[in-house]
Amino acid sequence: MSRRGHRAVVCGASMAGLLTARVLAEFYEHVTLVERDVFPEKVIQRKGVPQGRHLHQLLNRGSTVLSELFPGLFDDLVAAGAHIVDDPSLAYAHIGDHALAQHGQFINREAMVAYTVSRPLLEARVRRRVQAIENVTSLEGHDVVEPILGPDDRVMAVRLVSRETKQEQVLDADLVVDATGRAGRTPAFLRAHGFESPAEQSYSVNLRYCSQFFRVPHGLLTEKVALVAPTLQSSTGAGFLAYEDDTAVLTLIGIAGHRPPEGLPGLLSSAAELLPARFVAALRAAEPIGEMSAQQYPASVWRRYDKLRHFPRGLLVLGDAFCSFNPVYGQGMTSAAFQAKALRRCLAQSNDDDLSRRYFRAAARSLTQIWQANRFNDFMVLPADDWRLIPKRLLNWGTNRMAAAATEDIVVAETFMRLVQLHDGPTRLLRPALLIRIIKGNLRRISTSTR
C-alpha cells in the first residue's frame, strides 16, 4: 500500500486515539501516539479515562470493527476472563413496565453477541497491539499545545510539552488528529487562526450517575448484563455488568437533574427498587472494590466539522472531540470505531488534499444513525411540561406495548436489542410484520389476564 506521508501524530491515546493510530499505521511511514497520562503497567483504571469507572460496554457493531482491525482480539479477551453474552438468558432488560423475554433463541445470534470486559482490560489489550506495530511510537506524559500551520494553512508540525519537565518540543507532521475527547481544543485553535469554528448541535440531558465495583462470588448470578431504562414517569435507571475476575460494576443513573444516592447503603437500596431481587442479593453478598465514583453529563454535543467550508489541511478530529453522546447508551467506543473505519476508507480511496472534507462527511454519515437514535430515546424519557408532553406520552405508550409483547416473544425482544446494538434505527419498529406480532402479543396478554 502506498504511503500518504512521512509522519502522522495522534493526540490522545484513549480508545479513539488507539484505533486512529492503528488505521494511520497503514498509510504513514511513522505514527506517533501522544498521551498526557503515563500508561499503567498493570490493568488498572487510568486517570485520563474517568468513564472507565462506570458502566462500560462495547456494542456488537463496534466489536465487529475492532475484530477487523485486530484479528483475534476477542479470543484474547475471553482468555483473560471477559464474558460472551450470546443468549437471552444471560441478559436482563427492563423497558417501560416490562422485562424482555429471557428464553428462546435469537434469529441472528451473530448480531446479538456482546462481550462484557472492563474498560481497563479492553484498552490495555488494544494498546498492546497498537504499540506492537513497527511504525507506531508512543510518547507518554506529554500535553499537546497546538498544531503548527505553514503559510498555506497546512499543518506542518505539532507543539508538545512534557508534563514532568515542562520542556517543549516540536514534532514534524503531515497529519495531526485530535482525539483528546470532549475537552478537545480544536475549535479554539481554529478561531485563533482565523478559521470558522464548527457549529455545535446539542441538547440537554442533565445526567448524573454513580458507580461501584464489586467482586461477586463465583456462580452466584447467571446473568452478565442488566439494564433498567428510565421512563417518562421515572427519571432513574440502573445498569449492571459482570466483568473478568468475578468483578462487576453497578451504575445508577438519574436524568433531568435527578441525583443518585450517595454512599453504598443508598446505592444498594436504590438498586433494590429497580433490579430483580437476585441481583440485589448477589450485590449484598459481594465485596465492594474501591470507592464509589460519581459523574455528570450535561448535554450531548456534535461539533459539525462536516459543515465547515474551510479547514486546515492535515488536521482531523475523531472520537468525543467530534461528537459525544449520552453515555447511558454505551455508544462512545462504537462511535469511535465507526469514525476510524470511515477514516480508513477515505485514506484508501485517494491521495488528494481534500482528506478532511471527505473524512468529516463520511464520519458524519456514520454518526447520524447514533445521534438520531439517541435523540429519539432521550426525547421519550426527558420530562416536559409543554406541547411535547403529548407526543412523549404517545411514544411511551407505543414502546410499552412493544415491551409487553417482548416479555414472551423473543423476536420482538431481539428487535429491541438490535436497536440497542445499532443494527437498526427506530423506523424498524414500524414494519408491518413486527406490528402484527406486537398486536397479537398484547391480545394474548389481555386474554390471559381476563381468564
Tell me the pTM.
0.94
Q: Which domains does the chain have, with CATH numbers?
A: 5-71+120-199+304-374 (3.50.50.60), 205-299 (3.30.70)
For residue 172, what pLDDT is reported? 96
Give the relative orientation of helices 332-349 and 355-381 as an angle to the nearest 10 degrees. Answer: 160
For residue 449, what pLDDT is reported? 65
For residue 377, what pLDDT is reported? 87
Tens digit of each residue's pLDDT, the chain (451 residues): 567 889 999 999 999 999 999 999 999 999 999 999 999 988 888 888 888 888 888 999 999 999 999 999 999 999 999 999 999 999 999 998 899 999 999 999 999 999 999 999 999 999 999 999 999 999 999 999 999 999 889 999 999 999 999 999 999 999 999 999 998 899 999 999 999 999 999 999 889 999 999 999 998 999 999 999 998 888 899 999 999 999 999 999 998 888 888 899 999 999 999 999 999 999 999 999 999 999 999 999 999 999 999 999 999 999 999 999 988 888 999 999 999 999 999 999 877 778 999 999 999 999 998 998 888 888 888 888 888 899 989 988 988 999 999 999 999 999 989 988 888 877 787 888 888 899 998 988 887 766 5
Torsion angles phi and psi, residue 241, rounded to 5? -135, 130
For residue 431, what pLDDT is reported? 87
> How far is it, in rounded angstroms, from Cα 303 to Cα 317?
10
Residue with cell 469554528: 197
Residue with cell 404517545: 394
> How far is it, in rounded angstroms, from Cα 449 to Cα 451?
6
For residue 1, what pLDDT is reported? 57
Alpha helices for 164-314 (secondary structure H): 186-192, 264-274, 277-284
Q: How many CB atoms lie within 10 A of CB 173?
A: 25
Torsion angles phi and psi, residue 301, rounded to 5? -135, 130
121 is written with which cell numbers? 482490560
> How far is it, in rounded angstroms, from Cα 364 to Cα 346?
13
Q: Which long-range contacts (CB under 8 A, 24 or more apart) does 225-228 make?
A: 225/57, 225/85, 225/90, 225/91, 225/92, 225/93, 225/114, 225/116, 226/91, 226/92, 226/93, 226/275, 226/276, 226/279, 227/91, 227/92, 227/93, 227/94, 228/94, 228/274, 228/275
Closest CA to 86 of 57, 56, 60: 60
For residue 419, what pLDDT is reported? 87
Q: How many CB atoms lie within 10 A of CB 103?
A: 10
> How far is it, in rounded angstroms, from Cα 235 to Cα 213?
23
